Amino acid sequence: MATNKELLLIPESLADVMTQADKAGYMMNAVRGALLAPENRKSAPHFNTTELAALCDADRSQIVYRSSKNDLPAGTINPGGNRRTFTLDEALPWVREFRAKKLRPEGAQAVCISVANFKGGVGKTTTTMTLAQGLALKGHKVLVLDCDPQGSLTTLFGILPDTEVEEEQTILPVCLGQESSIAPAIQETYWPGLDLVCAAPLLFAAEFGLPARQMREEHFEFWNVLNHALDDVRDRYDVIIIDTPPALSYVTINALMASDGILMPLPPNALDAASAAQFWRLFSDLAGQLVEQRGVTKSFDFVRVLLTRVDGQDSTTSTIRDWITKTYEGKVLPAEIPKTTVASSSSAEFGTVYDVAKYEGSQKTYKRAKDAYERVAELMEDIIRASWRRQLAV
């Protein structure tokens, strides 16, 4: 028997690698195309009167009473005539009316938050999207910037990075100096009150473009490009959230330098905690160079750590949680995102818990996940409002 036939390796040329890349690309497009077929295109949620009241931080009776004034969208009554539903578009004027005191005060600008961590898979993109959706549901006008060339955030909006994203819809023209404002790159999304700047693999070019400009252009500040580009729209939005790539790249540095605050998602396990420590070390080394060599000054209104993908079953979780709480004293948000199948269920593959209209699994699991994300949005809203107050006080 020829059982011990020797393994024969067939060399793979660069051309073979390219063919492989094409094949993988076709496959991904087919998979995504099927998942995002026209009938599966994303749509924003609808709300009944009780849900609308919850969004408004009000009682159902207050909504019913206010309806008699007839100055806010009436929604649609079902054929039976006993139930009313509101699209998100119809709900937002209500939310903004009832929550007026919590919205951006006159004279304040958008608070810009970078969601950052060195490591992939810690929940940056999920955090960006759920926070953006959560804040938009509270009546804030939100802009999200996908700055990761992998374009996961873009995908969550139902847009395919490889085939549906043009350079002009990304931050690349700004990085290459072809545009000075981010405004032309912004697009509306399926979610009212939530605008997007896309990312796609073509954004990798920024990692060469920015240092090249630094060599070529006098007075160029490679770390300030996004910061200046955002200035044009800071009075058009209440919150700007930037999803960053899992590296301290030129683009990540730009995101951090453009931000008023940093939110770091961090799963409580040893490896992730270690790479978070490296992130702060590298960022501080870089900041040190900018301060010393170039006299850059920068301060953040807030830095927060969000415990994500928390596995209650894992015996090491509580030890590492304690360790993180000590290390990042005063910076850990008093809420945590459980490790949950809701976030990775097939129906939510291209969405988040806010996109799941009807969860097939246990309602208890769903509610636990949704409550956690809502709590984070609440806590972040408090921080954002404090940041607005600081702006107005200066």
CA neighbours within 13 Å on the CB side: how many for 65? 7
| Of 250, 259, 271, 19, residue with least CA distance to 128 | 259
Give the containing element (helix H, strand E) for 175: helix 172-175
# residues contacting ligand ADP (CB under 6 A): 16
Q: Do residues 260 and 108 make contact, with C-beta atoms less than 8 angstroms apart? A: no
Q: Is 343 in the site for ligand ADP (CB under 6 A)?
A: yes
Which residues in 193-232 contact ligand ADP (CB under 6 A)? Answer: none
| Among residues 76, 284, 316, 344, the one that binds ligand ADP under rule CB under 6 A | 344
| Among residues 25, 33, 105, 121, the one that binds ligand ADP under rule CB under 6 A | 121
Q: Is 130 in the site for ligand ADP (CB under 6 A)?
A: no
Cα four-point dihedral sign 256, 258, 260, 265 = negative
Q: Is 126 in the site for Mg ion (CB under 5 A)?
A: no
Which residues in 145-164 contact Mg ion (CB under 5 A)? Answer: 152
The Cα-based distances of 220 to 207, 215, 227, 288, 343 in angstroms read 15, 9, 13, 19, 42
The Cα-based distances of 321 to 187, 198, 301 in angstroms read 39, 34, 24
Binding mask 149-178 for ligand ADP (x = CB under 6 A): ---x--------------------------
* 126 vs 249, beta carbon nearer ligand ADP: 126
Q: Is 125 in the site for ligand ADP (CB under 6 A)?
A: yes
The phi, psi pair for 2, rounded to 5°, reads: -95, 55
CA-CA distance, 77 to 61, in Å (whole number)? 17
Dig out the tokens for 37 from the structure: 């077929």
Q: Tell me which of Mg ion, ligand ADP, none is bound by residue 254, counting a contact when its beta carbon lies within the kind-specific cut-off of 5 to 8 angstroms.
A: none
Say whether 200 sits in a helix, a strand or coil.
coil
Which residues in 216-255 contact Mg ion (CB under 5 A)? Answer: none
Q: Is 127 in the site for Mg ion (CB under 5 A)?
A: no
CA-CA distance, 246 to 269, in Å (whole number)? 17
Q: Is 117 in the site for Mg ion (CB under 5 A)?
A: no
Which residues in 306-325 contact ligand ADP (CB under 6 A)? Answer: 308-309
Q: Is 337 in the site for ligand ADP (CB under 6 A)?
A: yes
| Among residues 52, 122, 137, 248, the one that binds ligand ADP under rule CB under 6 A | 122
Spatial strand order in the sheet of 194-197: 187-188, 194-197, 142-146, 239-243, 111-115, 261-266, 302-310, 332-338
Closest CB 132 distance from Mg ion, rounded Å: 13
Binding mask 279-308 for ligand ADP (x = CB under 6 A): -----------------------------x
Beta strands 111-115 and 142-146: pairing type?
A: unpaired
| Of 225, 227, 199, residue with least CA distance to 212 | 225
Q: Is 124 in the site for Mg ion (CB under 5 A)?
A: yes
Q: Is 308 in the site for Mg ion (CB under 5 A)?
A: no
Q: Do residues 229 and 181 make contact, with C-beta atoms less than 8 angstroms apart? A: yes
Q: Is 340 in the site for ligand ADP (CB under 6 A)?
A: yes
Q: Is 261 in the site for ligand ADP (CB under 6 A)?
A: no
* 159 vs 290, beta carbon nearer ligand ADP: 159
Q: Is 351 in the site for ligand ADP (CB under 6 A)?
A: no
The Cα-based distances of 123 to 270, 278, 305, 337, 382 in angstroms read 16, 18, 12, 10, 22
Closest CB 89 distance from Mg ion, rounded Å: 28
Q: Is 133 in the site for ligand ADP (CB under 6 A)?
A: no
Closest CB 100 distance from ligand ADP, rounded Å: 32
* Stretch of residues binding ligand ADP (CB under 6 A), selected from 122-130, 195-203, 219-227, 381-389: 122-130
Q: Do residues 145 and 197 make contact, with C-beta atoms less than 8 angstroms apart? A: yes
| Of 113, 112, 115, 116, residue with least CA distance to 248 | 116
Q: Is 125 in the site for Mg ion (CB under 5 A)?
A: yes
Q: Which residues of the chain form contacts with Mg ion (CB under 5 A)?
A: 124-125, 152
Q: Which residues of the chain form contacts with ligand ADP (CB under 6 A)?
A: 120-126, 152, 246, 308-309, 337, 339-340, 343-344
